[in-house]
């Protein structure tokens, strides 16, 4: 009997082994076939008399990232979509002078998130395209505020007949955990310098402090004034008419008998209503396309870049753009997080590369670890000492630690709507001794010195340890002031007056002397080229290393994933924000527990 069972088992194992071999060989053949297909696939061509389609999807970012975990496997490889701002800027600027491109078509419905400065930079590039005499048409099924801000630069703005243009203004609301922590018995000790350094307040307060309210109001008023003026100018509207729509939207809706699209047209915000079929017909009309059928000559931004890049003459001189995106954390970090060691290595490789003549550091970060920020700043300083120019280009957010690393540059550029400043540092220490006591848990032991075990969150924070942290924070703030003062050629006390954790817009920062120039990535590249004496150059974008197998797995899974994911509901957005607020704490790994981070992201 035992012999028969062994025979059955061996036969079954043989079948399983054959299936395994087949599956492995099939996957290998599929990968080879994909590689051959990519190599043999002809490159895209630009039709003569075509429309360039600019259709950003998902979040507008400086550099697309990979999910740092394999969590995307559980979702069939579907990651949150992202669109690189640099690719769109490159496509729009190249199309401006390309005789084959007759028209720019802007479709905004799938923009999920984008900072005002990113939208402003893309908007400026489209305005430059329009100034060449080529028309720009924009359409939305509906327009949220950022989408409309971008679309408003077009010659014609189309809205779906049942659409809406929603312009609520700017706001910043935070979740405050103090009451919940009190119920749980959790204490959060905060050590900081600067009355405007508000990042820790959600963990220690139940409402916004007066200082944070004052600074936030000033920031949002300045940003909204600019957005309002740019929309009004593009639409040739008196600012007061736009104000009426924003401040009295209910009245505008009542006057239109509840018809949101009619209210938007009456306010002068759109030019035409169009269904999707009418939209395509209008594009054909503006192109002068008399061909049969509803399609028209067009090319997408990505395909357009692929078509023109291989025809551009290679340049012997390079400017490297290094993107510092996301929270600044100590050590090696994946794309999407600026690691002190991993980003410093990128800088060092660019400095030691004889083909790189200058560096532009593109910053889109709220800050984070003060230790990691200083490692990055010092690496930039070494690059300048080695004779290679360094230019800082601020994107939507370059605050606190983000500003710290910018001081390592020869010049700092910012967009008017950039959020920057927040010069200050803090430390947080959570204490869980009370929840442990409620659970009947006790902590006991011995130590060889007063500070040994003093920073154990299971035990009450020792007063001597608390004083140690506060002294370290005060020294760290003085160090931050000295770094800024040296870089900006100011006295520390002058920096202190505009520091103390206060956040500024790019325009305000320029007036205060924290920024050298107002301008985007293009202006920063020109400044780098001028300092490096380059007439012609190529822009390269070095990225952190991603293992090839992981990249291949992502591509294979993404290719098979569905692209019909539902937009997140308001409830899911709230849960995601709460989760993100708490999850961000996991990136706080500064070896001294000292942070230069701002609570200043603005939707």
* CA-CA-CA-CA dihedral for 180, 182, 186, 190, to nearest 10: 100
The dihedrals phi and psi of 300, each to the nearest 5 degrees, come to -75, 165
Q: How many CB atoms lie within 10 A of CB 273?
A: 17
Q: Is residue 310 a contact partner of residue 42, using CB atoms and an 8 Å limit? A: no
Position of tokens 């400026």?
124
Is 583 catalytic? The answer is no
Position of tokens 């100018």?
233
Q: How many CB atoms lie within 10 A of CB 305?
A: 18
Burial 61-94 (b: 16+ CB within 10 A, else e): bbbbbbbeeeebeeeebbbeebbbbbbbbbbbeb
Does an H or E element contain 95, and which? helix 85-96
- Of 102, 142, 197, 284, the catalytic one is 197
DSSP single-letter state for residue 394: E
Angle at 356 between CA 128 and CA 340, to 5 degrees: 95
SS3 184: helix
Counting Cβ atoms within 10 Å, is residue 101 exposed (0-12), middle (13-18) or buried (19+)?
buried
Is 400 catalytic? The answer is yes
- Of 174, 342, 400, 417, the catalytic one is 400
2 vs 7, 12, 13, 134, CA distance in Å? 9, 15, 16, 84
Does an H or E element contain 35, and which? helix 2-40
Q: Is residue 416 a contact partner of residue 167, using CB atoms and an 8 Å limit? A: no
Residues tagged active-site = 197, 400
């Amino acid at each position: 009997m035992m012999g028969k069972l062994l025979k059955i088992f061996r036969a079954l194992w043989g079948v399983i082994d054959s299936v395994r071999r087949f599956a492995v060989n099939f996957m290998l053949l599929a990968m080879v076939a994909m590689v051959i297909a990519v190599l043999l696939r002809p490159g895209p061509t630009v039709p003569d008399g075509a429309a360039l389609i600019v259709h950003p999807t998902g979040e507008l970012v400086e550099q697309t990232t990979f999910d740092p975990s394999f969590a995307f496997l559980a979702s069939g490889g579907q990651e949150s979509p992202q669109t690189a701002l640099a690719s769109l800027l490159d496509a729009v600027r190249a199309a401006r002078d390309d005789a084959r491109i007759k028209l720019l078509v802007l479709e905004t419905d799938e923009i999920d998130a984008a900072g005002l400065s990113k939208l402003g930079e893309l908007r400026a590039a489209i305005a430059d395209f329009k100034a060449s005499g080529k028309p720009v048409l924009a359409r939305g099924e509906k327009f949220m505020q950022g989408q409309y801000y971008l679309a408003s630069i077009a010659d014609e703005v189309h809205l779906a007949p049942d659409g809406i243009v929603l312009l609520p203004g700017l706001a910043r609301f935070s979740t405050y955990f103090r009451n919940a922590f009190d119920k749980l018995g959790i204490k959060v000790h905060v050590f900081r310098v600067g009355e405007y350094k508000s990042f820790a307040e959600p963990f220690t307060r139940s409402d916004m402090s007066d200082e944070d309210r004052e600074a936030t109001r000033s920031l949002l008023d300045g940003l909204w004034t600019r957005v309002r003026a740019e929309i009004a100018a593009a639409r040739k509207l008196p600012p007061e008419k736009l104000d009426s729509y924003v401040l009295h939207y209910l009245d505008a809706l009542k006057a239109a008998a509840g018809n949101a699209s009619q209210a938007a047209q009456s306010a002068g915000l759109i030019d035409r209503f169009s269904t999707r079929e009418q939209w395509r017909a209008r594009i054909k009309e503006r192109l002068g396309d008399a061909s049969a059928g509803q399609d028209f000559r067009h090319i997408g931004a990505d395909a357009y870049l692929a078509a023109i890049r291989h025809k551009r003459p290679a340049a012997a001189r390079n400017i490297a753009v290094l993107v510092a995106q996301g929270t600044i954390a100590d050590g090696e970090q994946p794309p999407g997080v600026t690691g002190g060691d991993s980003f410093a290595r990128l800088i060092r490789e660019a400095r030691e590369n004889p083909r790189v003549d200058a560096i532009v550091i593109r910053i889109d970060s709220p800050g984070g670890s003060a230790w990691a920020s200083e490692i990055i700043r010092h690496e930039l300083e070494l690059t300048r000492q080695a004779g290679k120019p360094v230019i800082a280009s601020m994107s939507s957010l370059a605050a606190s630690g983000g500003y710290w690393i910018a001081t390592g540059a020869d010049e700092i550029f910012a967009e008017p709507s950039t959020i920057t400043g927040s010069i200050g540092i803090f430390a947080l220490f959570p204490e869980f001794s009370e929840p442990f006591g409620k659970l009947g848990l006790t902590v006991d032991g011995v130590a060889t010195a007063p500070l040994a075990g003093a920073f154990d969150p299971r035990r009450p924070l020792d007063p001597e340890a608390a004083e140690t942290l506060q002294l370290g924070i005060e020294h760290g703030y003085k160090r931050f002031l000295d770094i800024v003062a040296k870089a900006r050629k100011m006295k520390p006390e002058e920096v202190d007056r505009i520091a103390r954790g206060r956040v500024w817009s790019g325009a305000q920062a320029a007036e205060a002397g924290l920024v050298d120039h107002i301008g985007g990535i293009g202006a920063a590249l020109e400044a780098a080229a001028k300092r490096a004496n380059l007439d012609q150059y190529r822009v390269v974008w070095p990225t952190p290393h991603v293992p090839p197998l992981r990249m291949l797995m992502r591509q294979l899974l993404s290719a098979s994933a569905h692209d019909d994911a539902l937009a997140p509901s308001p409830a899911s957005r709230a849960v995601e924000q709460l989760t993100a607020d708490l999850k961000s704490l996991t990136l706080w790994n500064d070896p001294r527990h000292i942070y230069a981070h701002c609570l200043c992201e603005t939707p």
